[in-house]
Structure formats: structure tokens, C-alpha cells
Structure 1
């Protein structure tokens, strides 16, 4: 009566069933293991820590753990809200971005990027001074660290909340060109911007103020200023002039 049974076929079916059961168990175990694993350690990486010193690892860990009230080490990962942790960190406005994620080894990784200031704005309307970064974002000063950078002042900044509009693109370009030029960065300490957008430059050395005008034809005007510093001042002397203007194309006016 057993002659009609195909034991080879039955064996293959049984092997297939066993394999499916094993795969199902492994998936279930893996899923359960991932959801029930606990945070082993908080790993903090501050991307540009060697450029700016507004925050350190201790600051970030305090924000991540709500100043110790949320002890994440040893906590189940399915009880940790990574989005909420990112929002906690970003409450510090000197931080540009934050990513919180679980590493393969079970650590909670926190990747931080600080804002990099390109200038400091001396607010004319009673507000606290702020820094501005290359994207035009304003962010607060730090009690820990003061960046030695270009100062911006003037009525142009009254009630201004950022440097992101189309109107400000040329100003950002101008500031970046100064910061990229070693001589200009060392010589120009302050830009005073009037309500209409005209710029006056206060240099580090000399008794003169430079009338630059609106930030148009920028590179040509900066080249004329270099002619003034390299060819005129060495002959006339650093204290000879009180007013220099490159506002009008093709001219260097010295008084």
C-alpha cells in the first residue's frame, strides 16, 4: 500500500515547509530584536568643531537628554523618538542641522553641524547683535566663543530678520569676496550700510572712510581699492586722506 507514495516528493515538501518556518522565525526574531534593543551609548559628532566653538559634546548631550531628565542610555529604541531628539537639539539656534539615528552597533548617533558666521551684525534697533552665515541666516551670539569677523552696522538692518531675500544677494556676495581675500579681510573691519543700501567701509589702518556705494560691479571696485592701497597710499602716506570713494565707475576719489 506504500508503493503509491512518492517519498522523494514528500521530503522536498517537508524541507520547503521547514525552510519557510525557519525564515519566518528569523524575521520575527530579527524584528523583535531590533525593536527591543536598548541604547548602548550616545555618540556625538560635531561636523565643523575645528572651525567654530559655539557648542561642544557636553552641550549636545544635555540637549539630547533634556538635561538629564531623559536617560536614553539603556532605554528601548522603540521608546526613543528620534525626531523629538533632533528638535531638542535644534532649539539651540547656533546649530544649523541635526540628525539622530541608531547605529548598527546599538549606539545613538547624533550628527551636528554648526552655523559658520561670515559677519556680525550690530543691530540699530535695540535687539541683540547676531551673526549671519553664508546662507543669510541670522543666529545668536555665544557666551563661550566670539568669532573675529567682519562687523556690519547701519539703518539697513533695522527690523531685518534675515539676509535671504533677493535684495541681499549682492551684500552676501560682497561679504564673501572680502572674506576670501586675505588682504581685504585683514584691512576691512566694518561695513556700514545705509537704509538705501549704500555701503561705507571702515578700514583697520588709516584715518579714511571708504565710500563704496551699492554692492554692484563689486570686483571692479575692489580692484580699484587695491590700486589705492598698493600704489597711492605708499606714496601719499596712510594719514593723507579722510575720504576715499570708488562709488563711481572708473574713478578713485581721494580727499
Structure 2
């Protein structure tokens, strides 16, 4: 009788302990599940941050939270408008793309990509200078960082919103070819394009201006310029000419 009573008490204690443990686990699971439905942290990732320094993680976070006026950490994800945040971030025109999403870790992830400039346009129509990227998009300069790149100028850019039109593809190709060639990139500092689309090149060294003409037969003309720099100038001297033209096929005209 004594043994049966003692066993019953032990069974009750064990049952109670198991029940309390199960309830504790249920509460913990529910709390964790509840927490995962809320934003734990804002995680900003700038994909090409090592290429340019126009924006910082803090800049992006300020856009996401409206400079702290919209508290997202601790907020239910179902109440967070991801699309609206993306549109808000993209109002910074130095940002090329933005994707906002909820991660499995309970964080609000904000992935952005900056525009990478290939040239800077010196506007002559009263507008602020702008950068242009490889797709022809214009975007504003930065107070934080100034890219050391090719300068563009001339009437060609008056009232021009971008270089995305089909007729401007060759200009973009020309700029890219210069940037991809270490010798030409170091030698050419500025392209001036008139209203007809003819290009004049201002070199870094020498007192001459290069008449390139419209951007056609580009690689052939650039090769002739390399002949000028590698074979003619070393013999004649860097200050021997005031102008050089490769506008006409098969010719290098020096004056």
C-alpha cells in the first residue's frame, strides 16, 4: 500500500513536470513564431560599394525609414509596404536598382545597386553637370565623391535627357572604347561634341586638338591616333602641332 501511494505521487509529479515543460516549449515556439513575423533588423547591401562611393548604408537606411520617422524594426511584416520602400529608395537618382524583401532570418533586406559613371557631362544649357552610365542614363553628381573620368562638353548635349536613343549608341561605344584602352584613357581628358555630332578630343599632353569627326569607323581612327602618338610625336615633338585630324579615312592630317 505504501509503495503504490508513493508511486502515484511520483507519477503525478512527473506528469506535472512534463506538462509544464510542454507548455513552456509551446509558449517559446509561439513567441519565436510571433517574433519572426516582425522586422528584427534592417539589412542594407550595396552591391557595387567597392567601385564607387556615392552612397552609404546609412544613406539607404535613412531613405528606408524616412530619416527615422517610420519605425520598421519591431513592426509586423504584413504592415510593411515593400514596394513603397523600393520606390522611396529609388528617388535617390544615384541608385540604379533596389530590391526590398523579408528574409528567413526575420530581417528586412534592402539590396541596392549604384550607377557607375563612364563620363561626366559639362552642361552648357544652365543645367547642373551630370554623370552618364554605360546604358546612357544621366544621374547627378555627389557631394561625397567625385569620380575621375572622361569629360564631355558641347552643344550636342543641350536639353538632352539621356544618351539612350538609338542614334546615340555610337557615342556610348566611343566612350567605352576609350575607357577600356589604358593608353587612350590616360591620354584623352575631354570630348567636345558640336550640334552636328562631330567630336573634338582634348588630350592631356600637348597643345593640339584632335579632330575626330562623327563616331564612325571608330577603331580604325583610334588606331591612326595611336600611330600619331607612338611614331610621329616622338620624332616631331609634343608641341609641334596645334591640330590633328583623323576625320578622313586613311589619313592623319597634322598642322
Q: How does 1:14-33 map to 2 (within 5 A)?
A: 33=33
Q: Secondary structure at the match of 1:126?
A: coil
Aligned residue for 1:234?
234
Q: CA deviation at 1:35?
A: 10
The alpha-carbon deviation at position 120 of structure 1 amounts to: 0.3
When normalised by structure 2's length, the TM-score is 0.86
* Aligned 1:115-126 pairs, distance under 5 A: 115-126=115-126
User: Scaled by the length of structure 1, what TM-score is found?
Assistant: 0.86
Measure, in 2, the Cα distance between the counterparts of 1:36 and 1:122.
Answer: 50
SS in 2 for 1:38: coil
Q: Distance in 2 between matches of 1:37 and 1:50?
A: 33
Distance 1:55 1:35 in 2: 31
Structure 2 vs 1, CA of residues 98 and 34 (structure 1 numbering), >3 Å: closer, same or farther? Answer: farther
Partner of 2:210: 210
Runs of 4+ aligned structure 1 residues displaced above 4 Å come to 33-36
In the alignment, which residue of structure 2 is the partner of 1:12?
none
**Aligned to 2:78, what secondary structure does the other structure show?**
helix
Q: Please give the secondary structure, in 1, of the residue aligned with 2:219.
A: helix
Partner of 2:38: 38
Where do 5+ consecutive residues of structure 1 fail to align? 1-28
1:112 lines up with 2:148 in the alignment: no
SS in 1 for 2:151: strand
Residue 190 of structure 2: aligned partner: 190
Contact kept, 8 Å, 2:36 with 2:105, in 1: the verdict is no
Q: Quick check: 1:154–1:193 contact (8 Å CA) kept in 2? A: yes
What SS does the aligned partner of 2:201 have?
strand
Q: Describe the superposition over 1:30-83 as per-residue Cα deviations: whole angstroms up to 9, x where unpaired.
A: 9xx589710001111100000000000000000000000001111110110000
Residue matched to 1:49: 49
Is the contact made by 2:36 and 2:106 (CA closer than 8 Å) also made in structure 1? Answer: no
Number of residues of Structure 1 aligned to a counterpart in Structure 2? 225
| Matched-pair contact (CA < 8 Å) for 1:199–1:212 | yes
